[in-house]
Amino acid sequence: MKWVNKGESLLFPPSCFFCHASVSKSGCCKQCLQHIKPLLSPSCLRCGQALSEGLAPGPCGKCLRFPPFQIETVSLYAYQGAVREAILIWKLGGDDAGVRWLLETARQRLKTLFQPDDLFIPVPMPLSRMQKSGQHHAADLARLLAEAAGCEWDWQLLRRHGHQARQSALSGLARRKNLRKSFCLDADYLTSMQLKGILRKPVKGRVWVVDDIMTTGATLHYASKALGVLQQPIYAFSLARTLRDR
């Protein structure tokens, strides 16, 4: 068996999940590791924006003026360097090895952050994009999170309706206008789940809206707002977020 494993390593040498450089074992090379920034510094509890230690947990100035609907926002990594590459490879090429490694590396933090009765609800993709790509990245992320943290997830409860331009092509204010009426709760699905005893109202644990990347926060805000009919606090989670000056 050892010679088989050795033969495999010669034919398919382990490489970095992010830059594909040769490494001694599959994972992350030292160079990419230097450019992965976990978001562990003090931050505004409501929106997750970094704050000085004296001002945390906020609220920050922006949340005082325009507070997001969710009561807490958590992001694991800064959207830069190897993290950005991993997410792009996943979303454009379908290879989730780097994303899985990022979640596995943060497993202990995830177990501390989440509780067994928590429920993950992914931000729904526009149907046209989902049909074109054959993937639902936020749902895949919610599933991986549920596996890592031992929680439940449900991709059918929150729906997207209407046609919206791609968020990446819009400015901050335009992003908010674009998503203002984009999300809704599937009332029929919720009722059927309750009748079957699968989903309680209120949910026993915390409800988390899940997305892959947080930029302005508009998507998580409006998705969380749509879940307000559950009449319980909503939390928001993203794998990564873009950094901006304070």
pLDDT (tens digit per residue) in 195-212: 566 566 667 789 999 999
Helices marked H in 95-136: 97-105, 107-113, 127-133
How large is the average pLDDT for residues 101-110?
A: 93
Residue owning tokens 């989903």: 199
How far apart CA 130 and CA 1 sit, in angstroms, is 42
Q: Report strand pairing: 72-78 vs 207-214.
A: unpaired
pLDDT at 168: 59
Q: Which of 28-42, 53-67, 117-131, 223-237 has the lowest mean pLDDT?
A: 117-131
pLDDT digits 0-9 by tens, 34-90: 899 999 889 999 999 999 989 989 899 999 999 999 999 999 999 999 999 999 999
Could you give the CA distance from residue 209 to residue 132 in angstroms, rounded to a whole number? Answer: 24
Residues of the chain above pLDDT 90, percent: 48
Backbone angles phi, psi at 78, to 5 degrees: -75, 140
State yes or no: pLDDT of 167 exceeds 80: no
The domain spans of the chain are: 1-34, 39-241
- Give the per-residue pLDDT at 187: 79
Using alpha carbons, select from 25, 6, 30 the residue that is nearest to residue 14. 25
Name the nearest CA neighbour of 143 among 124, 126, 123, 122. 122
pLDDT band at 165 (very low <50, low <70, confident <90, very high): low
Q: Quote the pLDDT of residue 7.
A: 45
The DSSP letter of residue 196 is: T
pLDDT-derived band at 5 (thresholds 50, 70, 90) equals: very low
- pLDDT above 70: percentage of residues in the chain: 80
- Is the Cα torsion angle 193, 199, 202, 207 positive or negative in sign? negative
Residues with Cβ within 8 Å of 166's Cβ and at least 6 positions away in sequence, in order, are none
Tell the CATH topology of 39-241. Answer: Rossmann fold (3.40.50)
For the cut 70, the answer to whether the pLDDT of residue 191 exceeds it is: yes
In the chain, what is the straight-line distance between the N-terminal and C-terminal CA atoms, in Å? 56
pTM (2 decimals)?
Answer: 0.85
CA atoms of 178 and 233, how far apart (whole Å)? 24
